Chains A and B, each alone.
Chain A
Amino acid sequence: MARIIGGIGTSHVPTIGMAFDKGKHDDPDWKPLFQGYEPVRKWLAEKKPDVLFFCFNDHATTFFFDHYPTFALGVSEEYAIADEGVGKRKIPKLKGHAALSRHIAHSLVEDEFDISVFQDQPLDHGLHSPLTMMWPAQPDWPGRVVPLVVNVLQHPLPKPSRCYKLGKSIGKAIAAYPEDLRVVMVGTGGLSHQMIGERAGFNDEKWDLEFLDLIDRDPERLAGMTIADFAERGGNEGAEVIMWLIMRGALAPTARKVHQNYYLPMTTAMAVALFE
């Protein structure tokens, strides 16, 4: 049977991928970020999961507002890298796990989560900006991904409680998959940031650290908050951390945070946390 062996929460700021692509590993401005991912990279290299289940958002790259899904599950064997306005990152196409995706789609609908599905679509930095910090892209990816795209752009957004429940349903679906697969849940986004309006450049380190504590100790409390609460405390765009709740909901309630890094160099607080 398939088994969820752990979870990762991570920011997906595009500059994380840019810093990686430019080889900024030893640049003093970026070193604290690379060092923060090192334990996660080592953990993945040691545990060798077959699949990373990624909860992330597209940034009006692949999906556009003429038809914008709330929850869309990728069901392809392969996903191209998206061009976001400067050409594609030079990393291999992502390998999907279509059979597991199909199983999860059936299981979710059976559990009354009527999700959308997509195939043959390119994926943007929401997924692969943190991925290259944790998983070797060369010569090729060591495993497969299952992407879940979440609407955190166009309101109404899904409620935080809905995200947490969806995570629980995904957890059940994965546990019921007959093949022996080791799966890691990844929730992306945040932490505090606001890109627009007079409050552009807003951060709140105190809230970020509280969030990192609650996602470990008391995710139900986060799930009980509203989108407006998240936007108030973490910034308009910071409300995307609700995607961490999907990851957390899929983990066993007994899972605990074993590593955390927090770095706030520019406009967005960059965090990574590992759960087992």
Chain B
Amino acid sequence: MTKYVFDLERSARGLRLNRFLHDLVHEEKRKRFLENPEEAMKDLTGEEKDMVRRLDWKALQDYGASFFCLEKLARTKGISNPQMVAAFRGETLEEFLKTRRVPGAR
């Protein structure tokens, strides 16, 4: 279980990244990120910027991002939770939806 648990150690490691992601609840921050991502990410490290550019959900989560902060980035980029879950499973969205009872309910 510990592998997935967002604990104080992960929270400390991911603080700068999570703060950037959390800030996307503000419309002006979303606009800035979409118009000029490099400027908006200037406080992040090179590694953090790279994961955000690639929208590498698994790497971001492994690094210390909270899923609930990642959701803010996903919404800003128009990505749904089923797409994120598929990425965590290493599947395409289509493959993931085949494992669901009501694939249209999204």
Please choose the segment from A3-11, A40-48, A83-91, A253-261 that sits at the chain B interface, where 4 or more of its residues have CB less than 8 A away.
Answer: A83-91
Q: Is A214 an interface residue (CB 8 A)?
A: no
Q: Is B63 an interface residue (CB 8 A)?
A: no
Please choose the segment from A104-112, A127-135, A180-188, A231-239 that sits at the chain B interface, where 4 or more of its residues have CB less than 8 A away.
Answer: A231-239
User: Closest CB of chain B to A89's CB: distance in Å?
Assistant: 13
User: CB distance B75 to A86 under 8 Å?
Assistant: yes
Please choose the segment from A140-148, A197-205, A242-250 that sits at the chain B interface, where 4 or more of its residues have CB less than 8 A away.
Answer: A197-205
Q: Is B100 an interface residue (CB 8 A)?
A: yes
User: CB distance A264 to B101 under 8 Å?
Assistant: yes
A85-B67 CB under 8 A given contacts A155-B8, A267-B85: no
Q: Convert B65-99 into 0s and 1s, putting 1 for each residue whose CB lies closer than 8 angstroms to a CB of A.
A: 01111011111100001101100111000001001
User: CB distance B71 to A85 under 8 Å?
Assistant: yes
Q: Is A225 an interface residue (CB 8 A)?
A: no
Chain B residues with a Cβ closer than 8 Å to the other chain, count: 44
- Name the interface residues of B3-27: CB closer than 8 Å to any CB of A: 3-8, 11, 15, 18-19, 22, 24-27
- Name the interface residues of A179-223: CB closer than 8 Å to any CB of B: 194-201
By beta carbon, the residue of chain A nearest B12 is A65
Inside 8 A of B102's CB, which chain A residues have their CB? Answer: 29, 265-266
Inside 8 A of A29's CB, which chain B residues have their CB? Answer: 102, 104-105
User: CB distance B1 to A265 under 8 Å?
Assistant: no
User: CB distance B66 to A200 under 8 Å?
Assistant: no
User: Closest CB of chain B to A264's CB: distance in Å?
Assistant: 6
Inside 8 A of B75's CB, which chain A residues have their CB? Answer: 84-86
User: Closest CB of chain A to B79's CB: distance in Å?
Assistant: 10
Q: Which of A85, A86, A197 contacts B4 (CB 8 A)?
A: A197
The 10 A-B residue pairs with the shortest CB-CB distance, nearest first, are A85-B75, A265-B102, A265-B105, A200-B88, A60-B68, A29-B104, A29-B105, A155-B7, A59-B68, A85-B72
